[in-house]
């Protein structure tokens, strides 16, 4: 069971079965498809959403948080996979599905909470993600959270008539320790009831 964290703007909590219709909506949105998969036409069936949900619940190397506002309204998701405790890494993805909340700090707040979880509670060494080069808002958000560019995979996808690159970004536990003191976050609380 994943813990629940409260930040300045959002709450991060484990996905529940009741969230799946909303997750399905976000997964089938063409702008989300563009930013998350470089494929605006990507569609996901409800069966596939349910299959992934079961995987998140049973596979300790992956999981999905729902991002809610402080009033509990669900606005997005933050997932991870390839969480390998022995080598101390995992990979993240994030999507604010409710677009009216883009560019207002919600995504960065959620990401900072996730970094607190992975570095302080799970004790990882490094957290990684990939972002397409055209996704300048996401790159700006990740930089605010301490991610730095580790490498570039060239011509990874062909979108709207142009090749785009995948930017590989990461933040380490030592970088996180420096940044955390600057963020002045509300110390998240962990709801471990039932875990
Ligand atoms: C990526 C995402 C999670 C970021 O969360 P967010 O809440 O929108 O981001 P924030 O508001 O915290 O930070 C975005 C920063 O980019 C800036 N920004 C906003 N729009 C921008 C744009 N079009 N281009 C460049 N920068 C932009 C903002 O000003 C802000 O920086 P600032 O705080 O210094 O002013 C969110 O936008 C999202 O889910 N987008 C759709 C899906 C997606 O792109 N997922 C990531 C796939 S790798």
Q: How far is the CA of 99 from the centre of ligand 1 (A)?
A: 11
Q: Tell me if 145 is assigned to some domain.
A: yes
Plot region of 31 (φ>0 → left; ψ -120 to 50 → alpha; else → beta): alpha
Q: What is the pLDDT of residues 51-60, one digit of tens each?
A: 999 999 999 9
Domain range enclosing 111: 5-182
Ramachandran area for residue 161 (φ above 0: left; ψ -120 to 50: alpha; else beta): left
pLDDT tens per residue, range 26-53: 999 999 999 999 999 999 999 999 999 9
Q: Is residue 194 part of a domain?
A: no
Domain membership flag for residue 135: yes
- How close are the terminal C-alpha atoms of the chain, in Å? 6
By the 8 A CB rule, do 63 and 82 touch? Answer: no
Q: Cα of 29 to ligand 1 centre, how many Å?
A: 17
Give residues (CB < 6 A) around ligand 1.
32, 35-36, 76, 94-96, 102-108, 131, 135-138, 140-141, 144
Q: Which residues of the chain have pLDDT under 70?
A: 184-195
Give the pLDDT of residue 184: 64
> Which protein residue has the closest C-alpha to ligand 1 atom 22?
137
Q: Is 124 within the bounds of a domain?
A: yes
Domain count, the chain: 1
Residue 195 lies in a domain: no
pLDDT value, residue 193: 36
Ligand 1 centroid, distance to 156 Cα (angstroms): 21
Question: pTM for this one?
Answer: 0.94
Q: How far is the CA of 104 from the centre of ligand 1 (A)?
A: 8
- Which residues on adjacent β-strands are paired with residue 164? 157
Whether residue 152 lies inside any domain: the answer is yes
In a domain, 56, yes or no: yes
Nearest CA to ligand 1 atom 16: 137
Helix 173-183 crosses helix 106-116 at what angle (to 10 degrees)? 130
For residue 190, is it within any domain?
A: no
- Residue 97 belongs to domain with CATH number: 3.40.630.30
Compute how many other C-beta atoms are within 10 angstroms of the C-beta atom of residue 86. Answer: 5
């Amino acid at each position: 069971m994943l813990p629940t964290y409260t930040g300045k703007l959002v709450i991060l909590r484990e996905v529940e079965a009741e969230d799946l219709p909303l997750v399905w909506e976000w997964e089938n949105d063409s702008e989300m498809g563009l930013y998350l998969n470089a494929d605006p036409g990507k569609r996901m069936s409800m069966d596939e959403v349910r299959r992934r949900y079961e995987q998140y619940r049973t596979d300790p190397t992956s999981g999905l948080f729902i991002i809610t506002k402080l009033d509990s309204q669900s606005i997005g998701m933050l997932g991870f996979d390839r969480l390998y405790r022995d080598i101390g890494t995992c990979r993240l993805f994030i999507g604010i599905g409710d677009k009216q909340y883009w560019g207002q700090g919600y995504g960065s707040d959620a990401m900072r909470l996730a970094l607190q979880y992975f570095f302080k509670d799970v004790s990882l060494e490094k957290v990684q993600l990939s972002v397409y080069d055209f996704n300048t808002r996401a790159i700006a958000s990740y930089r605010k959270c301490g991610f730095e560019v580790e490498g570039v995979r060239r011509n990874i996808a062909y979108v709207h008539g142009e090749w785009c690159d995948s930017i590989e970004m990461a933040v380490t536990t030592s970088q996180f320790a420096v940044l955390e003191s600057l963020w002045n976050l509300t110390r998240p609380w962990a709801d471990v009831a039932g875990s």
